Structures are given as structure tokens and as C-alpha cells.
Amino acid sequence: MSEIEKSLYEFPEMMKKALKKEVDFIIEKKLKNIVIVGMGGSAISGDVLIDLIKDKIEIPIEVCRYYELPNFVKEDSLVILISYSGNTEETISCFKQAIKKKAKIVCITSNGILENLCKKYKIPLIKIPPKLKPRAAFPFLFISLLKIIDSFKKELMILEGIEEAIEIIEKIREENFDKKKKELKQEGMLYEIAKLFYKKDAILIYSSEHLKGVATRIKTQINENSKMLSWFSLLPELNHNEISGWQEVKKSNFAVIFLRTKDENERIIKRIEYTEDILKNRAIIKEIWSIGENKLAKLFSLIYRGDIISLHLGKMRNVNVDEVPLQDRIKEILRK
């Protein structure tokens, strides 16, 4: 069994363990903005957080995927730096800038340089379990981030619905995994979607703007687990540009996944309907719907379903779902 498959089976247990971790530091409430720094799966935790709270939080919050912090970061900014390995060079660079700017700093990591810097500068740190693939650590990274925000923004109630989310993940797991072998079953809706998609040249993820973080997660899981090209675009924006790219396509070797929730804006519902009508003879289209009543549960349900599809795809394509040799090659070259 691959490490990714094992981690995916243990996803709800990771959520429960992450919830038990206490935030034992105090964050000043008078903040003007929040910047979440990270790359890959670490940054996606920030994207999904924004999906969850952007209609509630009253101060700007954004994700930084770069070597340099935004210029607006000052002493009244909170910079949350996330690096699973603790050695991500972009994140280390931003840590040093945050120190110079005298911003409020909190870190999430398993070890590495980032942990050592936190000790040196006496920076609050949430330490998570090591020896996971970074993308498999999402439950620890994301829930740790939720707990940091909840510690000084109780009014957002961002952990409300976490129990429902865990129950839903356990239900999806039961539907898709063999309980004894702890392996994916070769049956079910998600398996059938993967069977339609695994020979395609690329998989496009289309969703409403309010699911940007989820779309990012599914796109990157398909890249890393399935070793397939994938990208995402958001409605309504894609109706103002990308849709024209399909005009001369008669029949493509692309697949499209539409991410859906029952609380979509009425205009978005119409846009999805019309977009699917345009694409129906140009690509294979499937919809994945969220499950649950609470917003947090809905986000988790889509993420977990997307993770399962990506693992099915990787197994069908007979690739090593654990290893990412091209990413490793670039890191190795940059170390020289």
C-alpha cells in the first residue's frame, strides 16, 4: 500500500488528533491584516481557510506563495508561516522578512529550519507529526490553522461543524475503502469518474469563486498523485475569457469536473448550466457535489472526494503516487 493511500484512509483520525492540539499562546486582537505564507499543500490550507471565512472576517487576509512578503505587512500584521518540512526556501525567506518588519508571527511545521528559527526568535509554533507526505498532512495543517484563527477570532465560529465534517469523511471512507484491507474499492461513483478520466490529456476543475481553495487542492492532488496535467478556473470569471478558448474545439481529450454546492448563487447556477451545455460535445463532464449542512463540512467533503479520485487515477495509470521526481529534481538543482 502506498503512503498516500494509507494517509487517505487515516484522514479522519488525523482530523481528530489535530483537534486535540491546544493553542498555548496569545495572539493580539488588534490586527490590520493576515498573511498566510506557504507553498504547495501548506499554502492550500490558507486558500481553503479563505473559502471558509472570507464572508465573515472584517480584515484583509491573503495567501503569499513567494520569496517576499507583501509591502503592506507591518507591525500590526499577523504572518502565519506554514511549511510541513520546515525547509521550504520561500517560507524561510518570508520568515526573515517578517522578523525585520516586526510583524506578529506564528508558525506551523513538523521540524526543520523553521522550527529552529522559532526557537531562536521565541516565535509561537504549532508542531505537527513528521514522516508524512506534505500533501497528506492537510488535516493537520488546515486544522492547526483554524485553531490559530479561532484563538483570537472566536466570533467567526470557524470550528463550528468540525464534528459533522469528521462524520461525513468517515461516511465517504466507508463507501470507498475496504475496511479490512484499508484499500480503495474498485467500485463506486468516484471510481467510475476516474475510470472515465484516467486516459485523458488533462482534467479541468471548474467551480464558483467561493470554492477556489477546494479547486486548488483537487487540481494539485491530480498533478501529484495522478501525474496528470490539471488546472482550475472559476465562475463567473471563466465565462469572460476561458470559455472562448473552447470555440474551435470539436472534440477534445479533456475532462471537466464541476464542483457544486447547494447554496450557490442563482446566477452561478445558470452560468454552470449554460457552460456545461457549451462543453457537452467537447469534453467529458462530471459534477461532484458537497455533502453536509455546515460550510466546513461541505469543504471537507469535496476535498476528500477529490483526493480519492486522484488516488484512483494514479492507480489506474500505474504511476508511483507517493513520489514526485520532477519536483525533487528542481529542488536538487536549486540546492547546488
Which cell is 311 given?
Answer: 488516488
- Tell me which of 96, 100, 179, 331 is the catalytic residue: 331
* Active site annotation includes 6: no
Q: What pLDDT tens digit does each residue of the chain (336 aa) get? A: 999 999 999 999 999 999 998 888 889 888 999 999 999 999 999 999 999 999 999 999 999 999 999 999 999 999 999 999 999 999 999 999 999 999 999 999 999 999 999 999 999 999 999 999 999 999 999 999 999 999 999 899 999 999 999 999 999 999 999 999 999 999 999 999 999 999 999 999 999 999 999 999 999 999 999 999 999 999 999 999 999 999 999 888 999 999 999 999 999 999 999 999 999 999 999 999 999 999 999 999 999 999 999 999 999 999 999 999 999 999 999 987
Q: What is the pLDDT of residue 330?
A: 96
Q: What is the pLDDT of residue 35?
A: 99
H-state helical runs in the chain: 3-9, 11-20, 40-53, 89-100, 112-121, 138-152, 162-176, 189-197, 212-226, 266-279, 295-316, 325-335
Q: Which residues of 137-149 are buried (b: 16+ CB within 10 A; e: fewer)?
A: bbbbbbbbbbbbb
Same-fold call for 3-156 versus 162-316: yes
Pick one of 2.60.120.10, 2.40.50.140, 3.40.50.10490, 1.10.10.60 as the CATH number of 162-316: 3.40.50.10490
* Active site annotation includes 270: no
- Tell me which of 224, 295, 298, 315 is the catalytic residue: 224
Nearest CA to 101 among 121, 126, 82? 121
Three-state DSSP at 204 gives: strand
Q: What is the pLDDT of residue 295?
A: 96
pTM exceeds 0.85? yes
> Domain boundaries in the chain?
3-156, 162-316
Half-sphere exposure of 243 (CA within 13 A, CB side): 17
Which cell is 124 given?
Answer: 509561537
Three-state DSSP at 246 gives: helix
Domain 3-156 has CATH 3.40.50.10490: yes
- Tell me which of 240, 250, 251, 336 is the catalytic residue: 240
* Active site annotation includes 29: no
The Cα 177–Cα 308 span in angstroms is 10
